[in-house]
Amino acid sequence: MIKTDTDMRKRPEPAPPSPAGDGGNGNDGVTANSVATNDGNNAHDKRTKHALHTNLKRGMESRHLQMISLGGVIGTGLFLSSGYTIQQAGPIGTILAYGIGALIVYLVMLTLGELSVAMPVTGSFHVYAEKFIGPGTGFVIAIQYWLTWTVALGSEFTAAGLLMQRWFPHTPTWIWSAACIILIFVANALSVRFFAEAEFVFASIKVFAICAFILIGLLAIFGAVPISGYDHAPLFGNLVKDGVFPNGFMPVFATILTVNFAFSGTELIGVTAGETRDPETAVPKAIHTTLWRLVLFFIGSITVMCALIPWRQAGVGESPFVLVFNSIGIPYAADIMNFVVLTAVLSASNSGLYASTRMVWSMGNEGMIPRWFAKTNRHGVPMLALCAAMAGGLLALLSSVIAASTVYLVLVALSGLSAVVVWIAIAYCQIVFRRRWIASGHTASELKYATPGYPFTSWGAFILCTASFLLVFFDKEQRFALVAEIVFIIVCYAAYFLQQWWRKRHPAQPLELH
């Protein structure tokens, strides 16, 4: 496995030299010894006073990991916005886009699996980038991923308040948003186990709703259940009624970009690896179940929608899920879906706060920001990092109210592409990791989990993600996001090197241990 830089300082051992990126020290050799993890043997714990009590607890099991991965992906986009996507690309084009998106995600997950099992550390993405690309890139990836979830938090808090307006129209929206904020904060503050159980329940409701939708929809498609507008089994004629690509092929390309953003969240498996029991078994299992579940839930739902509703009518002012349920005659369909979407919002908020918190904790643990952000309480919860993450979400919420057309628009643009940037880094880090592993005299068979199909899988993930990022330029509506993202990356690198310059001129005084 990989030795952390801290481990190497603690027990110096010979390691093969490796090229350093971003001004790195080249000190990231690969050995067969275990990586320092977060369950009590983290070398940070023995280094300085401000690194004491930074242990996270391994409180998550395989079932939690799988539901958290699904919970991070299945959001309001599937339940509310899928109709708009169908209108843009047509039925077959949408199914094709989701299929390609699922393939890209799966390739990225396979590369992430090797890294997560070899180095099961919380906040893994930027740790990997720091080791295998360079410290500057590690800093940029950490900020990118933190921003992705922070902006999502703000939008989800707003959505929760708006959804409650259906049942309580005379109650101010902000009251329900505040209730959501308190609920999600408490779920994350109690313990990682409590967070995982809450996410398991939230995600289970979403999964159950989608499975019920697909099952009832299939019965209607084959005529077993009557549906208004048809006196016969609809079957799948609506899929190709107006041609394979009724709006041309370019909308399919734009939809692929949207799908990539919709699938962001699957990488949460990497964030949770440091707090998962038996990550060597749990992580690969969660990864391999991700693809078929994405295909089942997303492509299955889209296929049912398009078969039962003419694609030009899908999602016009109402969720396609509600349209189908109403057409079949299910009572209270709109209320049922409002509850399911509210659950999706709570799930996304829960996962978002967790991911943002662990990224702040990890940056503190690695010394990128003040180390007291890595302090944990007796339950293994980094409360300062949690408060900082929640503060970021509240600022995003505030900007969505008072600066929606300026600041918030920029933040949303940045967060959309930030996930793709993280995927690119994950794929490249695995390529570098494997090269160093082989160069140090090891073989792939010694890895507890090796990316299947290497190097084709790894390079496929890297190339497809990079193409998704760069080809945004050809979509006029999303071109602004690409420009904003590139500028933001440059600003992040500048901030990192400015920080390094300041630290060299003002070295921190070591704290004494008591």
> Could you identify the residue written with the tokens 């349209």?
323
CA distance 2 to 62: 23
End-to-end alpha-carbon separation of the chain, Å?
33
How far apart CA 82 and CA 347 sit, in angstroms, is 19
Crossing angle (nearest 10°) for helices 124-132 and 135-164: 160
Which amino acid is it at 273?
A: A
> Per-residue pLDDT tens for 154-193?
888 888 888 888 899 888 888 998 999 999 999 989 888 8
Contacts of 146 (CB under 8 A, 6+ apart): 356, 359, 360, 363, 389, 392
Evaluate whether 157 touches 44 at the Cβ level (below 8 Å): no
Residue 22: name the closest of 496, 503, 462 by CA: 496
What lies within 8 Å, CB to CB, of 443 at 6+ separation is none
Three-class DSSP category at 189: helix
Q: At 2, phi and psi to the nearest 5?
A: -95, 135
**Token digits for 44?**
């940070």
Is residue 28 within 8 Å of residue 5, measured between CB atoms? yes
Could you read off the pLDDT of 289-337 as tens digits, one per residue?
777 777 888 889 889 888 888 877 775 556 788 888 888 888 888 888 8
Q: How far apart are CA 53 and CA 40, in angstroms?
A: 9
Q: What is the pTM of this model?
A: 0.81
User: What pLDDT score was predicted for residue 58?
Assistant: 57
Q: According to DSSP H, which parts of 444-511 are helical?
A: 456-470, 479-505
Handedness of CA 412, 413, 414, 418 (dihedral sign): positive
AA identity, residue 18 = S
pLDDT at 321: 83
Q: At what angle do helices 62-73 and 279-294 cross, to 10 degrees?
A: 40
Instruction: Tell how many helices (H) and how many strands (E) occur in the chain.
Output: 18, 0
Which token pair is 350?
């829960």
Output DSSP code: residue 396.
H
Q: Position 270: which residue type? A: G
**SS3 call for 387:** helix
Helix (H, G, I), strand (E, B) or coil at 2: strand
Instruction: Determine the pLDDT at residue 316.
Output: 52
Query: What 8-state DSSP symbol labels residue 379?
Result: T
- Asked if 113 and 268 touch (Cβ cutoff 8 Å), the reply is no
- The answer to whether residues 134 and 334 touch, using CB atoms and an 8 Å cutoff, is no
Cβ-contact 87, 81 below 8 angstroms: no
Q: Give the 3-state secondary structure of residue 276.
A: strand
Q: What is the mean pLDDT of each run of 10 residues along the chain (514 residues)?
A: 37 38 45 38 38 53 68 70 80 88 89 88 80 92 88 84 87 89 91 83 86 90 84 83 83 77 75 70 76 82 87 69 84 87 87 86 84 83 90 85 75 82 94 95 91 94 91 80 90 92 76 42
Q: Give the torsion sign (CA, 318, 319, 322, 328).
A: positive
For residue 267, what pLDDT is reported? 78
Tokens matching residue 141: 């990836």
Closest CA to 381 of 126, 49, 54: 54
Which strand (E) or helix (H) includes residue 158? helix 135-164
Classify residue 406 as exposed, middle or buried by CB count within 10 Å of its CB (0-12, 13-18, 19+). Answer: exposed
**How far apart (Å, rounded) are the C-alpha atoms in residues 39 and 41?**
6
Q: Cα–Cα–Cα angle for 147, 148, 152, nearest 5°?
A: 105
**Cβ neighbours around 278 below 10 Å, total:** 12
Helix (H, G, I), strand (E, B) or coil at 60: strand
CA within 13 Å, CB half, 288: 11
pLDDT at 62: 65
Query: How many CB atoms neighbour CB 25 within 10 A?
Result: 10
Tokens standing for residue 465: 């993600």
